Chain A
Amino acid sequence: GAGVSQSPRYKVAKRGQDVALRCDPISGHVSLFWYQQALGQGPEFLTYFQNEAQLDKSGLPSDRFFAERPEGSVSTLKIQRTQQEDSAVYLCASRFGTGSSYEQYFGPGTRLTVT
């Protein structure tokens, strides 16, 4: 079956532009996570959805970051007025259940470069 897919795979944005990153999770997966991976670092948590409900957005670095999952499936991470420090790989992961014993399946990521 299909895994987690993300689009676009690469995005170059000029400073100040808005970007939207898409995540298609594995069908039927209840949980969806967004992580940010800066160069040379491990992924860092941004936000978590259980179905369409955003239960945790404690990792979003500023109010320029916004995520949604309106129908409990596809999710979009939006970054407004991009800054150079936003340059990173953005990873999406989905999980079948709500408990942490379930495996998180990661997408290939979207590499965002802000110039």
Chain B
Amino acid sequence: AQSVTQLDSQVPVFEEAPVELRCNYSSSVSVYLFWYVQYPNQGLQLLLKYLSGSTLVESINGFEAEFNKSQTSFHLRKPSVHISDTAEYFCAVSGSGGATNKLIFGTGTLLAVQP
């Protein structure tokens, strides 16, 4: 079984400041890791994913996440946030094999960017 922990329910940050959203996972099998973003009144969108290879993955809008197997973490970072980054961010894990490969989500972190 897999589980995901996002310890921070809300992260307030000023515009142009750096931010880190923390994600830790637990699994007895190999996993794929994902970050999804949910903007106000919109559906979930994939932000970035780690499948294999380089442990550092990047999104098109400046976010990056690093897979750390020894610490079972997949923290999301951005060096300089914008007001438009205000959204709920969900970390998710999926088994890399099996019949279903459903996503197991954390409880989410609200990133609140202030001017």
Contact = CB atoms under 8 A, between A and B. Distances in A.
B13 interface: no
A55 B10 CA distance: 36
Contacts, number: 60
A109 interface: yes
Interface in A95-112: 98-101, 103-104, 106-109
A55 B100 contact: yes
Interface size class of A (residues with CB under 8 A): 20 to 34
A44 B105 contact: yes
A1 interface: no
A107 B90 CA distance: 16
Interface stretch (A14-22, A35-43, A60-68, A78-86): A35-43
Name A's interface SS: loop
A91 interface: yes
B60 interface: no
B57 to A, nearest CB: 13
Interface of A: 3-4, 33, 35, 40-45, 48, 50, 55-56, 59, 91, 93, 98-101, 103-104, 106-109
17 contacts: A3-B43, A35-B103, A41-B108, A42-B4, A42-B90, A42-B106, A48-B100, A48-B102, A55-B99, A56-B99, A56-B100, A93-B44, A100-B95, A100-B96, A101-B96, A106-B43, A108-B42
